[in-house]
Chain A
């Protein structure tokens, strides 16, 4: 009874002899090499993901503004050209067709 309480009050940094069973168990889980490796891997993954998002963001900005400058006016102009062509074709059909009897 007091045995458990003593271990919990000391907590972190206490040696194995003074710690209670639960504290020992939790330390065994949190200080084990597997947990450390997992933590490092998670940190690396977060770092890599952040860099990847960052460079993807930059690439998306670069591609987006370049597309806006180079391609959008082209699409608009080609559309107008097509409209003009259709209009001319229509007018040709109207004026070029023989008069109705």
Chain B
């Protein structure tokens, strides 16, 4: 059974809405807006609740050589965690330098990053036509069997998007999302992992208005994720997220805020696992940003603090 959700299932819920808004305006079901891509369905919630915290020093320098071409140099020094069996986090101080090149064109975007420990990250986004896009993402390493790559083919219709993806370990996935009313969009996905012989189906829905976004996602891997983002004012938005895994009975709830001020952007979140994180980006000068990141895990007594500078 494919994970495609027939659009007709949501029509009865809209009938009352249409009756209500008939006085204001008639919803033109032929001209619905295009929904956002399926993998970005939690985009607003993730912006507040999952800031990219890091530990140590981070320095990013981006220099544009051309209108389309730019180089980036990045230095990252700090402890990195090693997965350990005993449950105690083992941190080893590492330092590496990353060189990157970006080519950005309206139709073609190429991004490559090379690290000093031999890893190469490459991303390609190619708009073949107005509606068809090819995206590829690859990570190559020196160690055998640790490289992987994923290719996505996106087709954007008038009020729907569909995507087909292939990964290197015989990983196949397809997703489809359709705008059902101007505010509601529903979608589904199906994936098959050849190496582990696993397959799964998932459904997602997203309801957004000017002031809030509510999303829900269910997957057959046992994950249920609900999120709600409220835009309290043009500078402040609050987000909350609830994740429940009915296979492993894991529950996590988190609340966060996102303040976008003129000179800075501050994001903070607190978790039900006793984990708080904050991320501050402050604009010191034109093109010069100062970053502070903090993450405290009270349960594991693991503290991560980082600071950095971004130029360009």
| Interface residues of A, Cβ cutoff 8 Å to B | 62, 65-66, 69-70, 73-74, 77-78, 80-81, 84
Is B76 an interface position by the 8 A CB rule? no
Contact A81 B263 (CB under 8 A): yes
Is B268 an interface position by the 8 A CB rule? yes
Count the A-B residue pairs with Cβ separation under 8 angstroms: how many?
Answer: 44
- Residue count of chain B within 8 Å CB distance of chain A: 19
Contacting residues, chain B, for A70 (C-beta < 8 A): 268, 270, 276, 278
Which single member of B261, B282, B296 contacts A69 (CB below 8 Å)? Answer: B296
Is B180 an interface position by the 8 A CB rule? no
Provide the main secondary structure of the chain A interface. Answer: helix
Contact B264 A69 (CB under 8 A): no
17 additional contacts (CB under 8 A) given A77-B261, A77-B264, A81-B262: A65-B276, A65-B296, A66-B270, A66-B276, A66-B296, A69-B268, A69-B278, A69-B296, A70-B268, A73-B266, A73-B268, A73-B280, A73-B292, A74-B268, A77-B263, A78-B261, A80-B263
Smallest beta-carbon distance B234→chain A, Å:
13
Contact B276 A81 (CB under 8 A): no
Report the separation of the CA atoms of residues A80 and B292 in the bound assembly, to the nearest whole angstrom: 17
Is B309 an interface position by the 8 A CB rule? no
Is B148 an interface position by the 8 A CB rule? no
Pick the 9 closest A-B CB pairs, nearest first.
A70-B268, A81-B261, A69-B278, A66-B276, A69-B294, A77-B264, A73-B280, A69-B276, A77-B266
Contacting residues, chain B, for A77 (C-beta < 8 A): 259, 261, 263-264, 266, 280, 282
Tell me the chain B residues, 184-203 only, with Cβ under 8 Å from chain A. none
Contacting residues, chain B, for A65 (C-beta < 8 A): 276, 296, 298
Contacting residues, chain B, for A66 (C-beta < 8 A): 270, 276, 296
Smallest beta-carbon distance B253→chain A, Å:
16
Contacting residues, chain A, for B274 (C-beta < 8 A): 62
Which single member of B262, B270, B278 contacts A73 (CB below 8 Å)? Answer: B278
Report the separation of the CA atoms of residues A62 and B276 in the bound assembly, to the nearest whole angstrom: 10
